[in-house]
Amino acid sequence: MKATPADQQELLRLQSIDTRLQQLAHKLGALPQTAPLAELAQRETAVRGTRAEAIGALEDARSELTRLESDVAVVEARIARDTDRLQHTSSVKDVQALEAELASLAKRRSDLEDQELVVMERVEDAEVVVSSIDLQRAAIESEVAELEAERDAAAGGIGVEREQTERDREVVAAGVPAELLAFYEQRRARGAGVGAALLRQRTCGGCTMTLTGSDLEQVRRSAPDDVVQCPECDRILVRTDESGL
Ligand SMILES: [Zn+2]
């Protein structure tokens, strides 16, 4: 293939733009916030599970407390009724029976109140656990929001640079003859993103092989408008004053 040395050198500009575009795409895919955000999402899930358990324990304790309170209310109603009866009876037998029942009801109420105290403590403990979990959640949420904002800002910066670089590429690509551009694209697709490389001090900038012997002779013999390729990596070798030929 033939192309003027100037057109061939334009390929180096195009290559540096393409390399930059590749770096920007890689940066977008591997922003430093991505890994910590994934880790925070895992922690958030774990904390949500722990919170569900803690809420379950709290609800159990609260309903047990409600049950005890209603038991106490029943006992108190019976105490009131028996006390009232006691005041209105003249039968010694009834008095004895009512007094015995009142004694046992008083014992029952006292037992229930002791249980209530224990369960109240459980409710309070469970509330403390839930609110400490909520604090953890809030801390995770604010960390996530901060990292997301950082990531979006970084991505925005990369996005702007990418748009500018893409516009630069259009301009440079428009100045390269179509056939040479197509050849470059083909080499680039096969050369892991590098289609054209500068030959500097007889060394290929694409694969770092230094030309010697007949390979070097062949490049030296090529006309300036011959498009030469690296014998090792097949990439387009662009010759300049730096090529050491
Ligand atoms: Zn090479």
The verdict on pTM exceeding 0.85 is no
Q: Could you tell me if 181 and 234 are in contact, meaning their C-beta atoms sit under 8 angstroms apart?
A: no
Percent of the chain with pLDDT over 70: 100
Model confidence pLDDT, tens digit, residues 147-159: 999 998 888 889 8
Residues 215 and 131 in one domain: no
**Ligand 1 center from residue 162 Cα (angstroms):** 28
Model confidence pLDDT, tens digit, residues 167-212: 999 999 999 999 999 999 999 999 999 999 999 999 999 999 999 9
Joined tokens for residue 20: 């930059």
**Ligand 1 center from residue 27 Cα (angstroms):** 26
Percent of the chain with pLDDT over 90: 93
Residues 100 and 150 in one domain: yes
Closest CA to 188 of 239, 150, 235: 235
**Ligand 1 center from residue 190 Cα (angstroms):** 12
Of 141, 156, 174, which closes a domain?
174
Residues 161 and 195 in one domain: no
CATH code (residue 134): 1.10.287.1490
Predicted local distance difference test score (pLDDT) of residue 148? 93
Residues 36 and 153 in one domain: yes
Asked whether the predicted pLDDT for residue 122 surpasses 90, the reply is: yes
Residues 113 and 199 in one domain: no
Closest CA to 108 of 136, 71, 156, 61: 71
Q: What's the rounded mean pLDDT across residues 48-56?
A: 96
Q: Which residue segment(s) compose the domain that 59 sits in?
A: 31-174
